[in-house]
Structure 1
Amino acid sequence: MKLTEEGIDMFANRRPDRPELWKESSQQLVRRKELRERCSAEELNPLLDLSRMVYDDKHKVVMCVVPKAACTTMKRAMWFLQGNVDKANINQVNTKLLVLGSGKIKTLNLLPKTEALKRLLNYTTFVVMRDPTARIVSAHSSKFTNRTSSPSYKLFYGRQIAMRQAVLYSKGVKLNYRNIVATSNLKMDPDFQRLSTDKQQEVIDYAKIMRFGNISFHQFGRSVSQQNPSHTKSFDVHWRPQVDLCNPCLFNYDYVIKFENLATEANGLLRYLQRNDPEEKKYFVDETHNPLIDDEKTRKVFDGIGNDVLDGLERIYAHDFRVLGYKTSFNSFKNTK
């Protein structure tokens, strides 16, 4: 949805009176104020993606979904608020039901625009944000490693990335469909035969990566870093910048949750949303599931990545760092070499 100047002013001046919410978490007032101050220095994007907005009419709430920022946890909570599951079974909810665009979970783009706007202006709205450096590590881990339950990202994006970067790893051997499928074909290649045994094994290993798409984080990071920072809206949502997904400078969210303090902050919001519900009917995020933030592990993932890649990632996610107020940066990993 593209807003007119009138619509932009309407969202910017949105000031719902939620005294119980602010009493629950006064830090949100400070966080929202600081976010508005940072946004004042940014060029305003008039687009708001209603397909990312999950809503519940009973509790009068709208969530903008940011993948790799506790989106499954919070979509489960929204699924519960919508009355689709009880507490005993919430963790067994099939994630296919929670996929945006499936038509199963309610999103604002499925409503007439006037109805969508009414909810955006009057309901409690929230979004979960995450440190961009940790988020891109999570995107790779969940889509291109053995953690993933579906090979679709490997077979589509992974293969493409591996093929584009083949010249960096193939030791001069021309890899094609025939020799990445059958090692016997590869071993017949004269360029392959001229390599040492160790380098031959490296080429064989890379041929397997090209076939199955299980790319390393270095390859993934390099691919993302080489994209045009002006065209980030074409990125897959799992690594698209967060400001593109939910546009916090255009829309004045009531509650901005930090992934790094997920359970505590999410439960503050859930207490407010369920304030009129019977105690036995309330759901809260398990406090023990607060995400483990391992800065050292993240740093090790970036170890050895070239400065050109880090500079490229810094350009891609510059707005996320500035707007969301994270003090980290990709360039901070340069001292790991």
Structure 2
Amino acid sequence: MARKPNLETLCGLIFLVGIACLFMLTNGSTKDRSLHNYSKDVRKILGEDERMTDSEQRKHDRFTKDQSLTALSSSTVEADRQRISILQQRKARLKEQCALIKEHHQVQDVALDPPEQLIVNEEYRIIYCNVPKVACTNWKTIFLELGGFSEFNTSREAHLGANKKGRLYLDYLHKYNVSQRRFMLQNYTKFVFVRHPFNRVLSAFRDKLAPNISVFFRNEDRKGTWISQYGQRIIDRYRGKAEADRVNSNWKQQYDLTFTEFIRFLVDPGIQSHNKHWDDIHSICKPCDINYDVIGKYETMSDDADFVLRLANIDPKIKFPKPHPSHVTNSSDGSLADTVYKGVPKSLMYKLAMLYAADFKLFGYDADPYLQI
């Protein structure tokens, strides 16, 4: 028959259990401190005070709740700290340049009249300024997935892409009432992605108006809306009605708008050339009136996008789509841009630089390499 454990044995077991519990509690508190310190580092980019408001506490709780220690590897933390440093520099530059602009520009209350490009996700408390030609389709794909609309199709909408689905299903700040807008602008994480103005202009031309490769030529079932609304109008203005009629007679064969003509159109003071696909980001997203927490760049899209997704505590299974290198709108950087802009007269290039002067200054881009080609 087994002997009953004596008092000394029981005391020994209790002691060992106590040591084990103490170790577990200590280890757990260390992990909690690691998570807390990490989230404090992340909050630096938000410019948040050490004292948390209720809203900030909810951000912190949501961030720490689901983060596993595997996501906090030393390499991830170090990479994020480097990213935070870069993003802080971008914010500092923006603040400095906005201060100069505000000498001649009164700050606007965005809650009263918000830009129409601000997309909202209430669950993750994020606001994104949707800038065309800066991977905006990919960001709308992310927002559709977050809202549960990525797989939602009806017979009428099954063929629609992310842009049209976005207009149907996504939430936009201007559709909320003023008090809701104000709360969201003060408490949600706000981000915008920017791009070198000249590369963005070239991307817009290639996607919407370039002969043979623009949307009308890539999609046989598309009407030539862009060409009729802008292309034909540009040719009419700079070549005359006879040339515009020639093009109109057979767009597939006759349409031959040049990039230089498109630049003339953009800088022409005698014509209204506004369109969100090539308007400056300063006008579209109001970065001097909205305190964006993250200013991402097209040129560092992969790292910046991944950081934003982690910052919003979005499921790691949701990945930012990688651009296809051969897509027409992804090929307007580097050597191609150098080649195309080389054919534009310098007088037009200087006017184009002036047209996008605010974007160059606010976001730290340089026009000189193109002006010196």
TM over 0.5: yes
* CA root-mean-square deviation: 3.2
Aligned 1:305-320 pairs, distance under 5 A: 305-320=344-359
Structure 2 counterparts to residues 80-229 of structure 1, below 5 A: 80-85=145-150, 94-99=161-166, 102-145=167-210, 146-148=213-215, 149=219, 150=222, 151-167=224-240, 175=242, 214-227=256-269
Q: 1:29 aligns with which of 88, 105, 109?
A: 88
1:328 partnered with 2:370? no
User: Paired residue for 1:5?
Assistant: none
Structure 1 stretch displaced more, 308-317 or 146-155: 146-155
**Is the 8 Å Cα contact of residues 181 and 211 (structure 1) preserved in structure 2?**
no
Structure 1: any 5+ residue segments left out of the alignment? 1-13, 168-173, 183-207
How has the CA–CA distance of structure 1 residues 178 and 155 changed in structure 2, closer, same or farther, with 3 Å as cutoff? Answer: closer
TM-score between both structures, scaled by the size of structure 2: 0.66
Q: CA deviation at 1:289?
A: 5.4
Pick from 120, 125, 136 the counterpart of residue 60 of structure 1.
125
Q: TM-score, normalised by structure 1?
A: 0.72
Change (3 A) 1:179 1:131: closer
2:120 and 2:173 in contact (8 A); partners too: yes
Task: Give the counterpart of 2:320 among 280, 285, 310.
Answer: 285
Flag the structure with more relative contact order, 1 or 2, with Cα contacts below 8 A and sequence separation at least 6: 1
Within 2, Cα distance between the matches of 1:53 and 1:181? 36
Distance 2:285 2:174 in 1: 14
Counterpart-to-counterpart distance in 1, 2:254 and 2:225:
10
Residue correspondences, number? 277
Structure 1 residues 308 and 120 mapped into 2: Cα distance closer, same or farther (>3 Å)?
A: same
Distance change >3 Å, CA 93–CA 78, structure 1 → 2 = farther
Q: Mark the structure with the bigger radius of gyration.
A: 2
Indicate whether 1:269 and 2:308 are aligned.
yes
Percent of residue pairs identical: 22
The AA in structure 1 aligned to 2:293 is D
Residues 181 and 299 (structure 1 numbering): CA distance in 2 closer, same or farther, change over 3 Å? closer
CA contact (8 A) 1:39 1:249 kept: yes
The DSSP-based 3-state class of the residue aligned with 2:101 is coil
The 2-side partners of 1:163 and 1:93 are apart by 33
- Letter of the structure 2 residue corresponding to residue 130 of structure 1: R
2:136 aligned to 71, 78, 95, which one? 71
